[in-house]
Amino acid sequence: MAKKILLIEDEKILAEMYKDKFTEAGFEVFLALEAKEGLKLAKKERPDLIILDILLPRENGITFLTWLRKDSKIASIPVVAFSNYDDPATKREAAKLGVKEYLIKTNYTPSEIVAKIKQLLADER
Partner 1 sequence: MISYTNLLLILAALVNFILGLTVYFYDRRNKINITFFILVLCTVQWIVSIYFLWNSTDPDIAFIWGKLSFFGPTLLPVVLIYFSYIFPNEIKKITLRRIILLLIPSIIVYVFVFSNLIINGVEIVKWGSNVKLASLFIVFPIYFLLYIFYGFYNLILQYKRNEGKWLERLQIKYLFFGFILSSILGLLLNVIMPIFGISTLVGLGPLTTVFLIVFTSYAIVKHQLFNIRVIATELLVGLVGLLLLFDVMSSKLPGLIALKSFILLVFIYFGYELIKSVLREIQRREEIEKIDRAKSEFISIASHQLRTPLTAVKGYISMVLEGTYGQLAEKLSKPLENVYQSNERLIRLVNDLLNLSRLDAGKIEFSPELTSLEEMVSGIVEELRINAKKKGLYMKMIKPSELLPKIMVDQDKIRQVILNIVDNAIKYTKEGGITFELKKLDEQEEIKVSDTGEGMDERELNSLFQMFSRATAGTQLHAEGAGLGLYVARQFIEMHGGKIWAESPGKGKGSAFIIQLPIKLDLKLIKEKTRIITKAPNDIF
Nearest CA-CA partner of 120 in 106, 102, 107: 102
Give the shortest CB-44-to-partner 1 separation in angstroms: 28
Q: Is residue 96 classed exposed, middle or buried when 0-12, 13-18 and 19+ CB atoms within 10 A define those classes?
A: exposed
C-beta of 72 vs 125, nearer to partner 1: 72
Q: CB 86 → partner 1: shortest distance, Å?
A: 6
Q: Which residues bind partner 1 (CB under 8 A)?
A: 11, 13-14, 17-18, 20-21, 24, 55, 83-88, 91-92, 104-107, 109-111
Cα 31 from Cα 45, distance rounded (Å): 11
Smallest distance from partner 1 to CB 101, Å: 12
